[in-house]
Amino acid sequence: MNRHSNQDDESPEGLENLDTDPVWDLLKKDASAHPVSPSPWFAARTAALVREQSPAAGFLRRWMIPIPFAALAAVVLAVHFAAPVTKQGGFVSSDEEFEQHMELLAYSE
């Protein structure tokens, strides 16, 4: 079956023909014959569920806890790998600087 010929597709083209759809006609007739009023409990419960599942609350739970920990780990790793590590924990110079320092030390006597 071709996907584009399906009338149940949720594309905007399928939503334009709701006035001529026989299923919607039956639903309209049933709604007019049997009106339903929502109960206060249903409205309150639905509002509470929406508040619990709001995008802001989900964002805070999902991202605002892991992001600080990831940033802290990135800083610790950057500091660890950026600073040269020696057994004495002192400054590490290049070979050229070491040779210059040794020459200065030799000539200072």
pTM: 0.28
Residues 24-75 have pLDDT tens digits of 889 889 989 988 887 889 888 888 887 777 677 667 767 777 888 888 999 9
Can you give the pLDDT at residue 63? 74
* pLDDT exceeds 60 at position 85: no
Q: Which of 9, 15, 11 is nearest to 1 (CA)?
A: 9
Residues 95-107 have pLDDT tens digits of 888 888 888 888 8
**Distance from C-alpha of 101 to C-alpha of 95, rounded to nearest angstrom:** 10
Calculate ∠ Cα 14-20-21, nearest 5°: 65
Please state, as a whole number, how many other Cβ atoms lie within 10 Å of the Cβ of residue 54: 11
More confident residue, 9 or 32: 32
> Are 21 and 13 a contacting pair, CB within 8 Å?
no
